[in-house]
Chain A
Amino acid sequence: MSAAPPPPSGLEAPAGGGWIFPMREAAGSTRAALVSGASALSLVLLGLLATLGIILAAAVPESVAWWILPPLALLAACCVAAWRWDPIPVLGYFALAGAVAAALAALTVAVADSPIQAAAGTAGFLLSMTTNVAVLIGAASDRWTGGIAGALGGYALGEGTMAITAALVGLPYRLDLPPIAIAVGVAVGYAFVPLARRRSRRSTASLDAADHRTRARRLRELEGRESIAVLHDTLLGELAALSHREPGPLSETDRERVVASLESSAMLPLLRDEPEPGFAEIASQLLAIGAAGGVRLRLEGDLAALDSIADPLGPALHAALEQCVVNVARHAGVTEAWLAVSRSGDELSITVVDEGVGFDPDAVPHDRLGLSESVRGRIERLGGTVRVWSSPGAGTSVHLVVPWGAGG
């Protein structure tokens, strides 16, 4: 037989806080994402310019100089370097600035050599878009001011190189607005991102604290209710038995039971750490509990399936079944009861039936913990369900359903 998979982790300690990203990590991630996004955008723009250059060179030979591809490739290399080179040494910045300036100077010469391009002067699409790329390279390579100085520096370098080269080669200089807008926009954006981030993450500490408190409270609730169930099964049961007992000497069995209850309550809420017995032992315990209360318990169905219920559901089911048998012995007023086990797909059903006095489930006082905590609470906390059918004079059926492996 294959083992059942672990049941829902109702009593496990869940790892909390995974949904609250810390401020420091957020700052690093946003910066990395901005640099990656800007670099990817630049590379696509350069690829587009190269493609258009090839199309133009092939279709209209006079429209563009054939050698614009190497400077575009150099700019692409600068993009990758600004993106991936970390840390960039001081000499590296000089090398990057030199390479960008050289590429832009070459492109300016190329535009001056082309009659169609030269008409737009330095504001033509080729120089405009490559100046934008220079701005983004500057922002991406800036490791000191988070991109502000880099964006403005990239613009100054690109525009300055173009203006000087244009003057040298006789290309008319025209002020181009998009690179200015992009440089200012990128600088302003980088300047305000930390403020926006601080504002949006000012509740991180309170969320973390709430997450911690919630998990502690939830654990306490789960562990606490489990120990309530155990206390009910041990000390409360013991006190109830003593309150109904005829005065007289305690037998050795009575003494052992009281001592065991005291020991188990002193261990709360650690009882689940005890090794769980196999079903053969559980079955004999259930039979013994029934016999002690004057009830002959008949076990039926796929009893072996109970052996493959993993922790923590196994011990919980065991304790709940014991409580069901105790309830029959204490309240049903019968000498015989049945416990049947059946498996269907990914569920295991256990039914405890007696033909005793029965009761009205809606009229059970709210302070009765046997059915509510020792049976229903235990099973429902672990993803199972409990249904009770009973009415005065018509016996009682308690039906427990717990998750079981679909492939079981």
Chain B
Amino acid sequence: MIGTRHSPQQLDPLAGVTAQFFAWIFTSAAFATSVGLTILHRAEYHSPLLLAAAFLCLVATGAVVVGASAPRRAPFTRRSAIAIHVLGLAAVGFEAAAQWGTNTAVRSDWAPLALALFVMATGCFRPASEILIADILSVLVVTVVTTSGAVASDWPLPAIVYAGLTAGPLLAAGVGAAVFSATLVTRLLRWRESTGDARLAAAEQLRAQVRDELHRERLTLVEREVGPFLRELVARGETDAADAERARELGDALRAALVAESEGVWLGDLVDEIRDPDGLAVHMDETQRAAVEAACAGLADRRVTAELARVGDLIRLTLRWGGEGRGRLRPEMQAILRLVFPGARVRPTRRHVEVEFEAA
């Protein structure tokens, strides 16, 4: 199936920001389900300590889901997804232990349902194949835990039926999340493919426009003085000492204009102050430049400074902005920066961002 290895967030960073909403919804639903079922079936739990441990794991799982889906921590990593399964399964184990031998209805077991809800939240962030594999492994663990509990409690129906009631919703949630992820990725890739020609045509148009502008600028630069001077010499067919002096002056002026242009740094147009003694800004690629430009545009009313320095094999860009003025680094821009510059340290409250990139 197309799109099982990519994640939706990887291909569309802004989707990850929308998905934060889903993460909160599923986490709230998991808490509500857990608390509600515990209160309704409180008689089934014989160990408050183990139940508390199960809730502790639930809270930790929710914290991982909410934290990993936050734009300033984007992207949602595989490590976070694994942590969700491990902590969720720990909750399953503690809950089962808290009602070992006193469990009367497996449909009231909240931990597998909560884990199913958390797994559904990962559909927005992780690749389908990974969601499915991790889910199947968790389903196996839940099946073993429920089956063991059913055997220990000597329930009347086959133990596998009870396992189906706890692990089944988890399996369904995992498949649903994987299909959600794969559908988003497939449509994103199709969109990219279908608009590729149009985007290339637009790029060519842009290039023609840029060349046209440059052509006019170059003609203006040359035709202002150098062109007429040289044509006059060609027409005259000889040079004198004054011509030599004039040629030197025109050469110096033309050289100065070209040097000024060649020393221009793109980042200098976007910030109020730039410290880049080694000219490192030129190493950023187009997508990284666009992300930095969009971030600076959002902070346009503030005083923004940029500093570039080598850190080992990488180049570090630090953007700082003052407290005066309007504009802020919005969550979607935080997510974009994190996706374009993996590992970026985004600290909007401290009014600075540190990103690192390789010298292209």
A residues touching B (Cβ–Cβ < 8 Å)?
A: 13-21, 25-26, 28-30, 32-34, 36-42, 44-45, 48, 51-52, 55-56, 59-60, 63, 116, 125, 128, 177, 181, 185, 188-189, 192-193, 196-197, 199-204, 206-207, 209-221, 223-225, 227-228, 231-232, 235-236, 238-240, 242-245, 247-250, 255, 258-259, 261-262, 265-266, 268-270, 366-367, 369, 372-373, 377
Known contacts: A15-B200, A231-B258. The answer to whether A216 contacts B210 by CB under 8 A is yes
In chain B, positions 160-180 with a C-beta closer than 8 Å to chain A are 160-161, 164-165, 168-169, 171-173, 175-180
Which one of B20, B196, B226, B237 lies within 8 Å of A249 (CB-CB)? B237
Cβ contact of B175, chosen from A40, A116, A214, cutoff 8 A: A40
Known interface pairs A16-B199, A249-B237, A270-B211; A261-B171 also in contact (CB < 8 Å): no
**Within the assembled complex, what's the spacing in Å between the Cα atoms of A185 and B121?**
14
In the complex, B12 has a CB within 8 A of chain A: yes
B34 to chain A, nearest CB (A): 12
B154 at the interface (CB under 8 A from A): no
Assess the B179–A37 pair: CB atoms within 8 A: yes
Other-chain contact of B251, A51, A243, A250 (Cβ < 8 Å)? A243
Q: Is B345 part of the contact surface with A, judged by Cβ < 8 Å?
A: no
In the complex, how many angstroms separate the beta carbon of A357 from the nearest chain B beta carbon? 22
**Pair A16/B293 contact, Cβ less than 8 Å:** no
Which A-B residue pairs are the 9 nearest by beta carbons? A41-B176, A37-B180, A200-B17, A239-B251, A196-B21, A242-B247, A210-B294, A243-B248, A13-B207
Binding site for A on B (CB under 8 A): 8, 11-15, 17-18, 20-22, 25, 29, 32-33, 36, 107, 123, 156-158, 160-161, 164-165, 168-169, 171-173, 175-181, 183-184, 187-188, 191-192, 195-196, 199-200, 202-204, 206-207, 209-211, 213-215, 218-219, 222, 226-227, 230-231, 233-234, 237-241, 243-245, 247-248, 250-251, 254-256, 258-259, 261-264, 266, 269, 286-287, 289-291, 293-294, 297-298, 330-333, 336
- A26: chain B residues at CB < 8 Å are 12, 14-15, 18
Cβ contact within 8 Å between B244 and A242: yes
Would B234 and A37 count as touching, CB distance under 8 A? no
Q: Which residues of A contact B218 (CB under 8 A)?
A: 227, 231, 265, 268-269
Q: What's the Cα separation between A18 and B290 when bound, in Å?
A: 12
Which of B165, B180, B248 has the most C-beta atoms of chain A within 10 angstroms of its own C-beta? B180
Which of B107, B158, B254, B264 contacts A125 (CB under 8 A)? B107
Tell which of B21, B158, B195 touches A59, judged by Cβ atoms closer than 8 Å. B158
- Docked Cα-Cα span, A204 to B265, in Å, equals 26
Tell me the smallest distance from the CB of B38 to a CB of chain A, in Å: 14
Q: List 11 A-B contacts (CB under 8 A).
A: A16-B290, A63-B157, A181-B29, A203-B298, A206-B298, A214-B286, A216-B210, A231-B258, A243-B251, A265-B222, A367-B259
Cα-based distance from A122 to B108 in the complex (angstroms)? 16
Residues on A with C-beta less than 8 A from B8 are 33
Q: A231 and B254: CB pair below 8 A?
A: yes
Q: Which of the residues A33, A231, A369 comes within 8 Å of B187, measured between beta carbons?
A: A33
**B289: which A residues are within 8 A, CB to CB?**
214, 217-218
Contact assessment for A15 and B290 in the assembled complex, using a CB-CB cutoff below 8 Å: no
Q: Are A228 and B261 in touch, CB under 8 angstroms?
A: yes
- For the complex formed, measure the closest distance between the CB of A186 and the CB atoms of chain B, giving whole angstroms: 10
CA distance A266 to B230 in the complex (A): 13
A247:B239 contact, CB within 8 angstroms: yes
Q: How far is the CA of A401 from the CA of B328 in the complex (A)?
A: 45
**11 further interface pairs, Cβ-Cβ under 8 Å (given A203-B336, A243-B247):** A16-B206, A18-B195, A33-B181, A128-B107, A209-B297, A215-B203, A223-B214, A231-B218, A232-B258, A247-B241, A369-B258
Q: Which of A25, A201, A367 contacts B332 (CB 8 A)?
A: A201
Q: Are A177 and B18 in contact (CB under 8 A)?
A: no
Min CB–CB distance B354 → chain A (angstroms): 20
> How many angstroms from the CA of A33 to the CA of B269 in the assembled complex?
41
A interface secondary structure, majority: helix
CB distance from A192 to the nearest CB of B (A): 6
How distant is the Cα of A223 from the Cα of B18 in the complex, in angstroms?
39
B247 engages A239 (CB within 8 Å) = yes
User: Inside 8 A of A218's CB, which chain B residues have their CB?
Assistant: 266, 286, 289
Q: Which single member of A192, A217, A243, A369 contacts B245 (CB below 8 Å)?
A: A243
Using A30-B18, A227-B218, A262-B231 as known contacts, say yes or no to A206 and B297 having CB atoms under 8 A apart.
yes
Question: Residue B206 contacts which of A36, A189, A212 (CB distance < 8 angstroms)?
Answer: A212
Please tell me which one of the listed residues B18, B206, B226 contacts residue A196 in the complex, with CB atoms under 8 A apart. Answer: B18
Partner of B29, one of A21, A37, A185, A223: A185
Counting chain B CB atoms within 10 Å of each CB, the highest count among A211, A214, A232 belongs to A214
User: Given A29-B187, A181-B33, A228-B262, are A270 and B227 also a contact pair (CB < 8 Å)?
Assistant: no
- CB of A33 within 8 A of CB of B183, answer yes
Please indicate the chain A residues that have their CB under 8 angstroms from the CB of B213 in the complex.
Answer: 220
- The answer for the CA separation of A32 and B20 in the assembled complex, in Å, is 19
Residue of B nearest to A41 (CB): B176
Please give the distance in Å from B3's CB to the nearest CB on chain A: 10
Are B210 and A203 neighbours in the complex by a CB distance under 8 Å? Answer: no
Tell me, in angstroms, the Cα distance from A258 to B14 when the chains sit together: 56
Q: A36-B179, A40-B179, A218-B289 are in contact. Are A248 and B107 (CB under 8 A)?
A: no
**Alpha-carbon separation in the docked complex, A367 to B165 (Å):** 78
Checking B165, B206, B330 against A215 with a beta-carbon cut-off of 8 angstroms, the contacting residue is B206
Q: B187: which A residues are within 8 A, CB to CB?
A: 25, 28-29, 32-33
